[in-house]
Amino acid sequence: EEQDRKVLEKTHPETLEKIDQREPLAVIDIISLHEDGVSDEVILEYVRHTRGAYNLTHNEIRKMQIAGISQKLINYLIDTGR
């Protein structure tokens, strides 16, 4: 996780600030982290840490699927909105 944090400091400082402030990540943040090589397991821990609730649209779900985000992470996000 420390290595991921260093990557975030350089590539996604705004996202890291959201995580540190426990603010929910936007879908685009999640996709960007995934595309930059942060594992879905680490992203899942970030999402759990922020305790956000996601009411995902069909389009957002599809974008994450196309980006290659694991179904486990997508399902977790869906479940937070219930």
pTM equals 0.89
pLDDT, one tens digit per residue, over 56-76 is 999 999 999 999 999 999 999
Alpha-helical (H) ranges within 1-82 are 2-11, 13-20, 27-35, 40-50, 58-67, 71-80
Cβ atoms of 42 and 1 closer than 8 Å: yes
Q: Is the pLDDT of residue 1 over 80?
A: no
Cβ atoms of 38 and 30 closer than 8 Å: no
CA distance 34 to 66: 12
CA distance 11 to 49: 20
Average pLDDT, integer, range 39-55 = 92
Average pLDDT, the chain: 93
pLDDT band at 17 (very low <50, low <70, confident <90, very high): very high
CA distance 66 to 22: 27
